Structure formats: structure tokens, C-alpha cells
């Protein structure tokens, strides 16, 4: 079973799927919780550093925010 690529507290960028709404594509998020694998994808609970809204994302939708 593969491990999560990102860790708690890490800053990440979210890339939405086609047709998925994102208000600000330059927004940074922080990883709040590592979630279990579903449908062959590890998932994360994220919190926006801009306005505090929460988002659920798959690992393949994320990139490290340097």
C-alpha cells in the first residue's frame, strides 16, 4: 500500500479536474488531514490559506507549493 506523498501541515497547490470550479488558481492550501485511499487514489483534506475554506482533493490533483 503506497504512502501519502504530502505530509500534515505541508503547503500545496490544487489543480482542478476539467469542469471543477476553483475561484483562485493561485491559491495555496495546507494539508489538514491524510485520508484513506478510495477508487485507487489517496486523498487529502485541505484548508485554504487565503480564506480558510476546506476542500477534499486527490493526490494527483496536488503539487508541492514552494
Would residue 1 count as lying in a domain?
no
Q: How many residues does the chain have?
A: 66
Would residue 31 count as lying in a domain?
yes
Give pTM, 2 decimals.
0.87
Would residue 23 count as lying in a domain?
yes
Domain limits at 16?
11-64
Would residue 4 count as lying in a domain?
no
Per the structure, the count of domains in the chain is 1
Q: Which residues pair with 29 in a beta bridge?
A: 12, 48
A 10 A CB-CB count for 62 gives 21
Give the single-character DSSP code of 11.
E
17 or 58, which is more confident?
Answer: 58
For the chain, report the end-to-end CA distance as a whole number of angstroms.
27
What is the per-residue pLDDT across 3-29, written as a single tens digit (0 to 9) for each? 999 999 999 999 888 877 766 667 899
Confirm if 57 and 44 have CB atoms less than 8 A apart. Answer: yes
Amino acid at each position: 500500500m503506497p504512502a501519502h506523498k504530502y505530509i500534515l501541515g505541508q503547503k500545496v497547490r490544487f489543480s482542478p479536474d476539467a469542469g471543477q470550479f476553483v475561484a483562485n488558481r493561485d491559491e495555496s492550501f495546507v494539508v489538514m488531514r491524510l485520508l484513506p485511499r478510495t477508487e485507487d487514489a489517496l486523498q487529502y483534506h485541505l484548508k485554504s490559506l487565503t480564506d480558510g475554506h476546506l476542500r477534499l482533493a486527490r493526490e494527483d490533483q496536488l503539487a508541492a507549493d514552494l
